[in-house]
């Protein structure tokens, strides 16, 4: 019943059942069905390389190097100008990229797709993928199998981006940009200024929700300053209209959905 619905914040409750079967199934769906140009990828090998990163190991001390073989095995290029990062706006970013299929969030790439919403870990006493309990990520257990995976694949995703890159942020939160987020701590710092010339931020607001932050707020000023210091241009747009249209599907009567803004 838990399949695909646990997030790492809930991971003290348990790992995802049947992680290996889900990862293999998702890999086959992605490479055979959704992206047949990747049909030569060996999903069994991808699964084995994925699980080798953490099985039989201390679930609190996984390293980036543990996942390096997986990163080296799965090479997929996202076209220039088509990378979409997100922070605190996962659902909308995925709804948008699900329609605007040219755009890729990390979870629209094979590595992000196979692991999204799953929780997994190993155990030094067995060579199994644990299916009952994975430790919480906290100060005593900072390098879990799941969290190190996301750090490594987010870093790789940002390193390979080129042209103009986009980020969807949530202006209904007090701070649309947070330096503590994976976007703010990993992705921004791994963009290559020689390949990425512009970061374009879309600050989205929940329809009918509070507008706590915007392109004019101090968190976006901080993002602009970090990005400009890295010699990357920065643009910001509040409520990017194509993404607004997606929000409007569920709120067609809202004034912001019927009036040209």
Distance CA 11, CA 259 (A): 43
Question: Strand, coil or helix: what is 204?
Answer: strand
The tokens describing 25, both together, are 């199934």
Distance CA 52, CA 66 (A): 8
Which residue in 182, 238, 243, 246 binds ligand NAD (CB under 6 A)? 182
List Cβ neighbours of 45 (8 Å cut-off, separation of 6 or more).
Answer: 73
Give catalytic status of residue 215 as yes or no.
no
Q: Which stretch binds ligand NAD (CB under 6 A): 24-32, 53-61, 73-81, 87-95?
A: 87-95
Q: Is 9 in the site for ligand NAD (CB under 6 A)?
A: yes
Between residue 100 and residue 159, which ones bind ligand NAD under the rule CB under 6 A? 106-107, 112, 116, 146-147, 150-151, 154, 157
Q: Are 213 and 176 in contact (CB under 8 A)?
A: yes
**Sign of the torsion angle spanned by Cα atoms 52, 57, 58, 63:** negative
What is the nearest approach in angstroms of ligand NAD to the Cβ of residue 253? 29
Q: Is 75 in the site for ligand NAD (CB under 6 A)?
A: no
- Phi, psi of 163, deg, nearest 5: 80, -135
By CB under 6 A, the count of residues binding ligand NAD is: 22
Give catalytic status of residue 134 as yes or no.
no
Catalytic residues: 80, 162
Binding site for ligand NAD (CB under 6 A): 7-9, 85-88, 90, 106-107, 112, 116, 146-147, 150-151, 154, 157, 181-183, 187
């Amino acid at each position: 019943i838990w399949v695909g619905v646990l997030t790492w914040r809930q991971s003290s409750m348990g790992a995802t059942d049947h992680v290996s079967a889900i990862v293999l199934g998702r890999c086959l769906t992605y490479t055979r069905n959704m992206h047949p140009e990747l049909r030569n990828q060996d999903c069994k090998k991808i699964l084995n390389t994925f699980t080798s990163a953490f099985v039989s190991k201390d679930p609190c001390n996984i390293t980036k190097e543990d996942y390096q073989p997986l990163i080296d095995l799965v090479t997929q290029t996202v076209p220039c100008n088509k990378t979409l990062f997100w922070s605190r706006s996962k659902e909308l970013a995925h709804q948008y990229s699900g329609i605007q299929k040219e755009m890729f969030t990390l979870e629209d790439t094979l590595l992000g797709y196979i692991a999204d919403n799953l929780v997994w870990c190993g155990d030094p006493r067995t060579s199994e993928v644990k299916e009952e309990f994975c430790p919480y990520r906290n100060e005593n257990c900072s390098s879990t199998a799941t969290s190190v995976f996301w750090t490594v694949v987010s870093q790789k995703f940002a390193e390979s981006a080129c042209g103009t890159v986009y980020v969807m942020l949530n202006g209904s939160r007090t701070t649309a940009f947070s330096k503590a987020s994976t976007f703010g701590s990993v992705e921004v710092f791994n963009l290559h200024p020689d390949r990425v010339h512009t970061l374009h931020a879309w600050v989205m607001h929940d329809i009918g929700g509070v507008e706590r932050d915007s392109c004019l707020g101090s968190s976006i000023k901080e993002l602009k300053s970090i990005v400009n210091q890295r010699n990357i241009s920065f643009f910001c747009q509040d409520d990017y209209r194509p993404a607004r249209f997606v929000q409007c599907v569920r709120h067609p009567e809202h004034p912001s959905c019927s009036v040209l803004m």
